[in-house]
Structure 1
């Protein structure tokens, strides 16, 4: 008999960003980088703690508590027991979301030829 594991949908939208943080585990303190963040959790690169362990994330004078949900050699996913709703980490998330909403600049579209390829062959 096989069991199917259905994953519940995420409650918060994940946002890619690049933040240097300090992770405090039970026995160590390590510098790492948050590369994916939401109000409910984060993906942290450059640090790895055992799954189900607790840690603290220090950023901008704020301490955020987290539980490690999964862990690989050089990265891990953490869940926040209390959703981010204020503080420097939350403001960084809001800035990253605002930057992602801006449409990329369209350069050189007015200078493109109507032909085929770079040389405008017909």
Structure 2
């Protein structure tokens, strides 16, 4: 009988963000952008490619957050924070982003669409 391994469910809700960061590895310092953030980790895009299982520091707003690279692709990587975000500039940015996304989607749509729709607006 074979056993099936299911991936462990995420502990934290991921939130889309756009935050410019500096990532320090053992041998390099590179610029990147966090595009997905939670208390437990982040997806960083740009020229920020480091080897899987390597340790790095993510610098944002004067804060340094330690991270471990969990996966890497050509132009992005996923990092896990060994210590959850509970305060500081990165956590504050996460909370602000969650507040923006929690707005009613219909309100966001209404604010983005033109005042007239289709031919009804034409006289």
Which residue does the alignment assign to 2:42? 42
**Alignment partners' CA distance in 2, 1:110 and 1:56:** 46
Match of residue 115 from structure 1:
none
Say which of 95, 106, 112 aligns to 2:110.
Answer: 106
Please, what TM-score do these two structures have when normalized by structure 1? 0.85
Encode CA deviations 1:71-108: one digit per residue, 9 max, x unaligned.
01110000000000000000000000001111215257
Larger radius of gyration: 1
Give CA-to-partner distance per residue, 1:8-59, whole Å, 9 cap, x none: 1101000000000000000000000000000000000011100000000000
Please give the secondary structure, in 1, of the residue aligned with 2:64.
strand
Unaligned runs of 5+ in 2: none
Secondary structure of the equivalent of 2:52? coil
| Number of equivalences | 115
CA shift at 1:119, angstroms? 3.9
TM-score by length of 2: 0.85
Q: Output the aligned Cα RMSD.
A: 2.1
Q: Structure 1 stretches of 5 or more lacking a match?
A: 113-117
**Mapping of residues 74-85 of structure 1, within 5 Å:** 74-85=75-86
